């Protein structure tokens, strides 16, 4: 039943074939948008983008009429493929146990036939980062395409980032008697000690990882330890470390930690990121936001505080991307990431920046912008055609191409819709009329 | 010689047994002589009456006389006590004292949305006696134990009593501490001796506390329902007894000690037992007022400390109050960053707290003070002096320690003042006033016996931490929440011109048009609107703007106090959301800011038959009862599928009926059959039959059968929905709405034919197995087939942008824009049967409308103004100002608070109390306990 990769037109099958896509507007994401634009593609690569391209003879023209072209959308922190149904435990592969499990690899467990994947694809998502949950230093994520026969051909970038779930540093101030289990009460002082310990634990773990890296370089016969091996890219090769943190003090402590140790980090979730926008900009830390559609957390917050956050960060010079919350619920909602960007746009994020926040910025943040993220000659021909403004809920994605190949936008949802739209009026109802 | 004591409780004043020999056998300590004269002191006869240098004569435990200074020569034979430099008060009485560990204020810590378990043996039948909880006869719910008496197990606690005496207390009303209707308190002296000697009145006040338990009732609305049912059961109990007298050979009425004890509480006829109620939250004070009228109880309210939130509630109720003085103090937090997480609400509560007693005492209300809720007695006097600093009159405070508690415990005839014949209870303090905490209590007298008091040593002031100078507490910085609530504008007339108007009515969308509002109603729509001459008219230029009806959310839980589920029993038809509407949550404002004007507040989906819903208007700032949409018909929440069969509740929870979809249907048939029979019973008939017990569960279900209550049924799978529709058809009931209805598209024709409304999510799916087939085309497909479709939020966040949810019906399935907007306006109004008043912009309807900056279905459009019945409740320009003021208030409060940090001489428990959260606020702040596990 799974309809996945669909090759469109036999002409495409031929290697070296040139295809010219013509449409009402090309939104390149890195250059100004082009009205009545053309895009020349060969072997899954963009050759040219412009208005008056003179293609060599033999070029196949594809007239997309009033459609708008956008780069394929990228969701830079998700549990897609690791979960099917929130309430059914057997379908969960999102969360591992143990505090320090850097050798856990999230993307390898993606179920390629998850019904959630085509649903995300249907609204323009060609790529998602699949990241692990649970623990503290809990593993690495991989960037996958949302179409393919199996994990191996879907994986675009394995080990794209190492993940840390930064410890909660807030104190639970609820008085003892109002706790469900008063025996578990810990005074602010005790909690303060605990949180410092947690931060020291992270430092200790990275100290040990660095020691291992050093020993590894010096001693060819050193016994391999998988967990420490998994830490090497972050330590030796500047693999980005995605730090999942929402609150101000978590974010500032993560920035301080990374600056001290010289690591490259990304802040994910980032509820309070806008409050420390300048610090983030100064340290050049990109942010992946997943809190636009969330109630304000403080009673002094304006009702629209989370709608405005992206605009504030962007203005301060922080590279922002939009994504969904990690876990099952978020995985079903990837299609709505576009509207988080759209809502931020209504509250001060410029249109170009909003587009980049779901295309080029996540590509740069995940260091795949050489191939993805914008409609730029030399990059992958991974793009979508929309019947209007992508930020308008009323529009629909009509076509999708990943590396030049057209991909079906059918899903469990369209299949069920098609089936039941055709249901004849039942006899019982007819009889009653 | 003995005094002849003329007092109703005279027989209780033991120790003066007339037949007992005055001389004890050798080897026992002889009784102290009983004649004393206290001379030269400042005698406070009662609040407001001080006699300087008067002499108090005590004889055998009674005040024999009080002689004014000029005739104060002490008669012969009295032991003289020099009271010069001291002040003598009538002995203090605590009206609300519990000696046990459980003396905690009411909390809702067990209240969670879906994590709940039924009473062990609940069978789903009208009553069950199996879940008695405690041994012996009683009420079917263990938390209802009005027959319990503290006196039965009362013993003196010498060390504890000594501590109370140190503060000046001589008597206390010892209260029961467990359950919802808790039993009767005992009034006792705080002296030494055995209980027989000490007890003054064995049965004083009855006690209520709105404290949810671990089983039914586990929610606040459940608590209210149980109290209501208990009162009706008591009435029935009385009727049955009367009936049995007339019908000696008929059904023998049961013996129920709980209901027997309740008779005096609800039907005492002038001799009612006072009901002391611990409401646990300020809104429940006004609920208590309503209940008192409905059930016939005489309440005394135990203050929550949060009365400052709603001054209007205090103004509306005239009951006596018992006021704890457990004020929060500034906490010590580990570091600067932690201070950032301190909320405005916590700071406000702290700043207001000492002012609350004065607020309550306003208008000459009877107000007593209590140690209740204070973990550390040392804070008591300090806090009262802070309250006096903030406006409480000393006289009122003194009355709160003497005459008022005497009145509340019906002991005014022998306690509370220094008058001839009263029990000789006295509180003696060094200096001119007890209300200066530096003046130590030097002794107390209890029934004529002198108790020396260990004066606590003054606390050593730490170096570098000077105490804040007394009497110079800074004035309040905190504002009233009401300052930022309520209508911003309420003009008589509104005229909007040049706007695009989405009427959602027969006129469709009209561009460049006008609308007129008069007295809260739409008075004209169209191109020609008369001249603007009337006074009090607001003119709005609508150029470029779009006007729509106020948005309506047909499934919302955002404004419910103390739990949205009474998920313990399979049927909780007796609980009412309207009892627990939370007018205080910031969610109201946040949703107004998204153009929402009406919300259908639904009970959760934890049981097949849930509670009664409440349709409200978001009239920000009004009291709960004034939020209710008066014209809206009654309704109730039902539920099918995984939630009600406890599929996702964990492995232990698999013993409540039903556990399958088969059982769900069986259950409905059972309850509706019972309801039908109940209605039959109620019909006037044979006088010789025993009186019918009013059953609040069946009453609600009966209203469904008679067409007076709409059913809103949480449902997902096509099969269960069809079975449900057919089951209801069997009972002649048309279902109001199928809520969620995510597989509705599979049986769209049947739903349309039945006439049930379909209230769906726009695009949620896959969170449970039963929603794996949910598709975002659901709304459009159902609409195509003729069902009345709405999109709802079921989320406090999503409810802030229902217009964008509507846009998804255009995206998925191509519903027209006009029809899509109706998914969040006219259609939910139809579903709730309130479309006569709201849902579209038509002449005569309520002027509930939204002004948008652009097309209402565009993500780029903002809500600019929200109006309800011609009153402006949100405006973007005012919002900016409001946000600034609120932020500034917190900054100022934080400054004030940080000045006190570590300088206050208070207990650690007072510091911890800083974070005690009002029930009303539990949804508005960080770490909301209740929201964590919520599932649709």
3-state SS of B107-151 is: CCCCCCCCCCCCCCCCCCCCCCCCCCCCCCCCCCCCCECCCCEHH
Contacts of B193 (CB under 8 A, 6+ apart): B15, B156
What residues are paired with B186 via a beta bridge?
B174
CB contact under 8 A, A188 and B935: no
Please report the pLDDT score of residue B135 as a whole number. Answer: 65
Q: DSSP secondary structure string, A305-370?
A: HHHHHHHHHHHHT--EEE---SSHHHHTTGGGHHHHHHHHHHTT--HHHHHHTTTHHHHHHTT-TT
∠ Cα B27 B29 B31 (to 5°)? 140
3-state SS class at B346: helix
pLDDT of residue B33: 78
Sheet with B737-740: strands ordered across: B634-639, B709-715, B737-740, B757-760, B789-791
Q: Which two tokens stand for residue A71?
A: 């780069």
Q: What is the CATH number of domain A1-72+373-433?
A: 2.30.40.10
Higher model confidence: residue B79 or residue B928?
Answer: B79
Touching check for B605 and chain A: CB below 8 Å?
no
- Residue A411 has what DSSP assignment? -
Check if the beta carbon of residue B321 is closer than 8 Å to that of residue B366.
yes
Q: H helices of B538-695, where? A: 587-592, 624-627, 661-682
Question: Across the strands, what pairs with B58?
Answer: B36, B63
Separation CA A151–CA A368 (nearest Å): 18
Instruction: Give A370→chain B minimum CA distance, Å.
Output: 31
Q: Is the pLDDT of residue A337 over 50?
A: yes
DSSP B191: S
Cα gap A78→A332, rounded to integer Å: 10
pLDDT at B123 exceeding the cut of 90? no
Contact between B926 and A413 using a beta-carbon 8 Å cutoff: no
Of A178, A299, A345, which is closest to B586 when you measure between CB atoms?
Answer: A299
pLDDT tens digits, A244-280 = 999 999 999 999 999 999 999 999 999 999 999 999 9
Residue B37 has pLDDT above 80, yes or no: yes
- For A11-61, the pLDDT digits (tens) are 344 678 999 999 999 999 999 999 999 999 999 999 999 999 999 999 999
What local confidence, expressed as pLDDT, does residue B25 receive?
A: 76
Q: How far is CA A223 from the centre of its chain?
A: 36
| pLDDT for B140 | 86
Q: How far apart are CA B806 and CA B779, in angstroms?
A: 9
List, as ranges, residues 625-664 from B with C-beta within 8 Å of A.
Answer: 642, 647-648
- Test B763 with A336 for CB contact under 8 angstroms: yes
Residues of chain A found within 8 Å of residue B814, distances taken between Cβ atoms: none
Please give, one letter per residue, the 3-state secondary structure of A162-212. Answer: EEEECCCCCCCCCCHHHCCCHHHCCCHHHHHHHHHHHHHHHHHHHHHHHHH
For chain B, what is the radius of gyration of the CA atoms? 32
- Flag whether pLDDT at B131 surpasses 80: no
Give the tens place of pLDDT for each residue, A85-113: 999 999 999 999 999 999 999 999 999 99
User: If you measure CA to CA, which chain A residue comes closest to B718?
Assistant: A420
For tokens 């000490």, name the residue: B198
- CATH top-level class of A73-170+234-371: alpha beta
Q: Is B671:B571 a contact under the CB 8 Å cutoff? A: yes
Cα A354 to Cα A244, A319, A390, distances in angstroms? 22, 11, 11
Query: Hey, are the CB atoms on A432 and B345 less than 8 Å from each other?
Result: no
Give the model's confidence band at B100: pLDDT under 50 very low, under 70 low, under 90 confident, else very high: low
Q: How does DSSP assign B447-481, residue by residue? A: TTEEEE--PPPPPPPPTT-PPPPTT-PPPP-PPPG
Closest-CA residue to B205 (of B230, B174, B233, B180): B174
Minimum mean pLDDT range among A402-411, B125-134, B187-196: B125-134
Contacts of A335 in chain B (CB under 8 A): 763
Q: CATH code at B363?
A: 3.20.20.140
Separation of alpha carbons B800 and A307, rounded Å? 12
Q: Is B587 on the interface with A (CB under 8 A)?
A: yes
Q: Closest CB to A332: pick one of B107, B745, B767.
A: B767
Q: Is the pLDDT of residue B849 over 80?
A: yes
Q: Do A328 and B767 touch (CB under 8 A)?
A: yes
- SS3 state of residue A218: helix
pLDDT recorded at residue B127:
35
Enclosing H/E stretch for B429: strand B426-430
d(CA A332, CA A127): 15
Does the interface ipTM go beyond 0.85? yes
Q: Tell me, what's the pLDDT at B102?
A: 52
Q: Give the 3-state secondary structure of B789-832.
A: EEECCCCCCHHHCHHHHHHHHHHCCCCCHHHHHHCCCHHHHHHC
B492 and B518 Cβ atoms separated by less than 8 Å: yes
- Average of per-residue pLDDT values in chain B: 89
**Pair B279, B301: CB distance under 8 Å:** yes
Helix (H, G, I), strand (E, B) or coil at A83: strand
Give CA separation, B370 vs B175, B396, B426, B555, B654, in Å.
Answer: 12, 14, 18, 43, 45
Across the beta sheet with A383-386, what order do the strands follow?
A: A34-35, A25-26, A68-71, A383-386, A397-402, A405-407
B46's enclosing H/E stretch is strand B35-46
Q: How does pLDDT run across B138-162, given as a tens digit for each residue? A: 898 989 999 999 999 999 999 999 9
Domain count, chain B: 2
- Give how far Cα B882 sits from Cα of A301, B594, B605, B870, B885, Å: 11, 16, 36, 21, 5
Number of H-type helices and E-type strands within chain A: 14, 18
Task: Give the end of a domain, one of B820, B846, B869.
Answer: B869
Identify the pLDDT of residue B466: 47
In a domain, B595, yes or no: yes
User: Distance between CA atoms of B438 and B844, rounded to whole angstroms?
Assistant: 67
Last-in-domain residue among B352, B378, B411: B411
* CA distances in angstroms from B53 to A56, A363, B47, B66, listed in the order given: 119, 90, 17, 11
Tens of pLDDT, residues B75-94:
889 999 999 999 999 999 99
Q: Which residue has the higher pLDDT, B103 or A132?
A: A132
The answer to whether residue B679 sits within a structural domain is: yes
Cα–Cα distance list, A5 to A73, A114, A118, A128 (Å)? 17, 15, 11, 17
Residues A384, A27 contacting (CB under 8 angstroms): no
pLDDT at residue B2 greater than cutoff 50: no
Domain residue limits at B608: 551-869
Q: Supply the pTM of this predicted model.
A: 0.94
- Structural contact between residues B819 and B830, judged by C-beta atoms closer than 8 angstroms: no
Residues 6+ apart with CB under 8 A from B782: B741, B744, B745, B748, B751, B752, B758, B760, B789
For residue A421, the chain B residue with the least C-alpha distance is: B781
Of A87, A295, A420, the CB nearest to B746: A420
| Integer Cα distance of A384 and A126 in angstroms | 9
So where are chain A's domains?
Answer: 1-72+373-433, 73-170+234-371
Which of B 504-543 lie inside 8 A of A, CB atoms? none
Domain boundary among the residues B837, B869, B901 is at B869
Mutate to test the interface with A, among B766, B873, B908, B925 (most CBs of A within 10 A): B766
Residue B877 lies inside a defined structural domain of this protein: no
Torsions phi, psi of A198, nearest 5?
A: -60, -40
Does residue B435 carry a pLDDT above 80?
A: yes
Report residue B74's pLDDT band, with 50, 70 and 90 as the boundaries.
Answer: confident
How far A335 CA lies from chain B's nearest CA (Å)? 10
CB neighbourhood size of B720 (10 A): 21
């Amino acid at each position: 039943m799974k309809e996945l990769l669909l090759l469109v037109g036999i002409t495409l099958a031929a290697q070296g074939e040139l295809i010219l896509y013509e449409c009402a507007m090309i939104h390149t994401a890195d250059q100004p948008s082009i009205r009545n634009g053309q895009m020349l593609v060969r072997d899954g690569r963009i050759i040219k983008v412009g208005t008056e391209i003179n293609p060599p003879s033999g070029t196949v023209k594809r007239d997309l009429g009033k459609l708008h072209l956008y780069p394929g959308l990228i969701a830079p922190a998700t549990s897609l493929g690791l979960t099917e149904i929130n309430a059914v435990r057997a379908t969960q592969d999102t969360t591992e146990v143990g505090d320090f499990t850097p050798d856990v690899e999230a993307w390898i467990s993606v179920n390629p036939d998850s019904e959630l994947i085509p649903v995300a694809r249907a609204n323009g998502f060609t790529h998602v980062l699949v990241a692990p949950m649970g623990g503290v230093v809990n593993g690495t994520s991989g960037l996958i395409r949302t179409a393919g026969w199996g994990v191996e051909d879907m994986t675009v970038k394995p080990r794209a980032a190492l993940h840390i779930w930064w410890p909660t540093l807030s104190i639970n101030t609820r008085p003892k008697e109002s706790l469900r289990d008063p025996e578990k009460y810990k005074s602010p002082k005790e909690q303060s000690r605990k949180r410092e310990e947690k931060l020291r634990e992270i430092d200790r773990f990275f100290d040990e990882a660095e020691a291992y890296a050093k020993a590894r370089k010096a001693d060819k016969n050193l016994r391999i330890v998988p967990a420490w091996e998994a830490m090497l890219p972050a330590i030796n090769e500047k693999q980005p470390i995605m730090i999942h943190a929402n609150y101000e003090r978590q974010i500032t402590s993560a920035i301080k930690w990374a600056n001290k140790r010289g690591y490259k980090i990304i802040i994910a979730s980032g509820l309070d990121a806008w409050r420390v926008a300048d610090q983030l900009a100064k340290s050049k830390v990109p942010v992946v936001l997943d809190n636009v559609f969330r109630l304000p957390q403080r009673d002094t917050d304006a009702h629209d505080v989370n709608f405005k956050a992206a605009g504030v960060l962007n203005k301060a010079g922080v590279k922002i991307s939009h994504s969904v919350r990690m876990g099952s619920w978020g995985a079903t909602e990837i299609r709505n990431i576009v509207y988080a960007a759209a809502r931020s746009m209504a509250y001060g994020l410029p249109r170009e920046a909003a587009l980049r926040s779901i295309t080029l910025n996540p590509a740069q943040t995940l260091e795949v912008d050489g191939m993805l993220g914008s409609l730029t000659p030399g990059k992958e021909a991974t793009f979508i055609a929309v019947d209007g403004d992508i930020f308008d809920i009323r529009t629909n994605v009509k076509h999708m191409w990943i590396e030049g190949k057209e991909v079906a936008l059918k899903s469990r949802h369209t299949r069920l819709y098609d089936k039941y739209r055709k249901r004849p009026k039942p006899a019982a109802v007819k009889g009653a009329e | 010689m003995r005094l002849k004591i003329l007092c109703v409780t005279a027989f209780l004043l033991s120790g003066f047994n007339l037949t007992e020999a005055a001389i004890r056998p050798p080897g026992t300590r002889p009784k102290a002589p009983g004649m004393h004269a206290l001379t030269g002191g400042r005698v406070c006869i009662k609040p407001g009456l001080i006699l300087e240098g008067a002499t108090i004569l005590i004889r055998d435990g009674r005040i024999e006389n009080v002689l004014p200074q000029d005739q104060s020569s002490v008669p012969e034979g009295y032991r003289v006590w020099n009271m010069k430099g001291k002040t003598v008060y009538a002995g203090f009485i605590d009206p609300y004292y519990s000696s046990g560990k459980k003396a905690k204020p009411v909390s809702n810590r067990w209240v969670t949305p879906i994590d709940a378990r039924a009473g062990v043996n609940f069978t789903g039948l009208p009553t069950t006696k199996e879940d008695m909880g405690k041994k012996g006869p009683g009420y079917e719910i263990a938390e209802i134990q009005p027959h319990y008496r503290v006196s039965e197990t009362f013993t003196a606690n010498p060390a504890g009593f000594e501590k109370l005496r140190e503060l000046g207390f001589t008597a206390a009303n010892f209260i029961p501490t467990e359950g919802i209707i808790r039993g009767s308190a005992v009034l006792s002296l705080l002296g030494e001796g055995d209980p027989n000697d000490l007890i003054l009145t064995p049965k004083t006040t009855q006690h209520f506390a709105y404290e949810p338990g671990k089983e039914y009732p586990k929610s606040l609305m459940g608590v209210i329902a149980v109290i209501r049912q208990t009162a009706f059961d008591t009435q029935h109990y009385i009727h049955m007894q009367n009936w049995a007298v007339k019908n000696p050979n008929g059904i023998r009425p049961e013996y129920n000690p709980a209901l027997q004890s309740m008779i005096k509480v609800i039907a005492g006829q002038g001799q009612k037992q006072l009901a002391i109620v611990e409401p646990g939250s300020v809104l429940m004070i006004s609920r208590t007022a309503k209940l008192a009228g409905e059930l016939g109880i005489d309440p005394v309210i135990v203050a929550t400390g949060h009365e400052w939130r709603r001054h209007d509630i205090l103004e509306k109720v005239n009951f006596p109050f018992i006021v704890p003085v457990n004020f929060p103090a500034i906490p010590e937090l580990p570091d600067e960053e932690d201070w950032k997480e301190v909320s405005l609400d916590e700071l406000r509560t702290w700043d207001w707290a000492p002012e609350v007693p004065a607020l309550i005492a306003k208008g000459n209300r009877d107000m007593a003070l209590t140690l209740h809720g204070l973990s550390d007695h040392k804070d008591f006097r300090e806090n009262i002096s802070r309250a006096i600093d903030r406006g409480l009159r000393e006289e009122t405070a003194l009355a709160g320690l003497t005459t008022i508690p005497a009145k509340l415990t019906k002991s005014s005839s022998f306690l509370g003042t220094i008058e001839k014949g009263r029990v000789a209870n006295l509180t003696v303090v060094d200096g001119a006033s007890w209300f200066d905490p530096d003046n130590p209590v030097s002794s107390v007298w209890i029934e004529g016996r002198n108790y020396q008091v260990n004066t606590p040593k003054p606390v050593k002031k730490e170096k570098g931490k000077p105490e804040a100078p007394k009497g110079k507490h800074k004035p309040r910085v905190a504002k009233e929440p009401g300052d930022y609530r309520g209508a911003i504008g309420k003009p008589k007339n509104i005229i909007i011109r040049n706007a695009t108007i989405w009427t959602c009515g027969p006129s469709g969308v009209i561009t460049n048009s006008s609308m007129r509002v008069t007295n809260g109603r739409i008075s004209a729509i169209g191109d020609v609107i008369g001249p603007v001459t009337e006074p009090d008219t607001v003119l709005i230029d609508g150029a470029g703007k779009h006007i729509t009806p106020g948005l309506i959310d047909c499934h919302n839980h955002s404004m419910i106090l103390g739990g949205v589920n009474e998920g313990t029993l399979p049927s909780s038809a007796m609980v009412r959301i309207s009892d627990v509407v939370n007018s205080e949550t910031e969610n109201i404002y946040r949703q107004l800011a998204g153009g929402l004007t009406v919300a259908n507040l639904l009970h959760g989906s934890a049981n097949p038959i849930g509670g009664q819903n409440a349709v409200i208007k978001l009239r920000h700032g009004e009291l709960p009862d004034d939020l209710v949409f008066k014209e809206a018909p009654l309704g109730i929440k039902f539920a099918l599928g995984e939630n009600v069969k406890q599929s996702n509740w964990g492995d232990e929870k698999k013993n409540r009926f039903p556990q399958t979809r088969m059982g769900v249907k069986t259950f409905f048939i059972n309850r509706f059959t019972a309801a039908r029979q109940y209605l039959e019973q109620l019909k006037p008939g044979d006088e010789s039959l025993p009186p019918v017990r009013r059953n609040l569960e069946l009453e609600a279900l009966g209203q469904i059968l008679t067409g007076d209550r709409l059913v809103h049924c949480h449902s997902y799978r096509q099969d269960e929905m069809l079975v449900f529709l057919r089951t209801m058809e069997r009972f002649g009931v048309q279902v109001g709405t199928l809520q969620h209805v995510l597989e509705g598209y599979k049986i769209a024709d049947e739903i349309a034919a039945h006439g049930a409304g379909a209230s769906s999510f726009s695009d949620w799916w896959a969170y449970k197995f039963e929603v794996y087939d949910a598709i975002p085309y659901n709304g459009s497909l159902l609409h195509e087939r003729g069902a009345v479709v709405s999109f709802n939020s079921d989320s406090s966040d999503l409810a802030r942008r229902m217009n964008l949810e509507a846009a998804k019906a255009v995206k998925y399935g191509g519903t027209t824009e006009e029809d899509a907007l109706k998914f969040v306006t006219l259609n939910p109004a139809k579903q709730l049967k309130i479309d006569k008043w709201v849902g579209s912009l038509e002449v005569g309807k309520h002027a509930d409308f939204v002004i948008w900056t652009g097309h209402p279905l565009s993500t780029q459009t903002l809500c600019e103004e929200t109006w309800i019945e011609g009153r402006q409740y949100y405006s973007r320009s005012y919002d900016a100002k409001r946000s600034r003021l609120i932020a500034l208030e917190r900054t100022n409060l934080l400054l004030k608070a940080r000045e006190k940090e570590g300088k206050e001489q208070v207990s650690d428990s007072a510091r911890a109390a800083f974070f005690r959260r009002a029930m009303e606020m539990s949804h508005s702040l960080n770490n909301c306990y209740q929201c964590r596990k919520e599932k649709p």
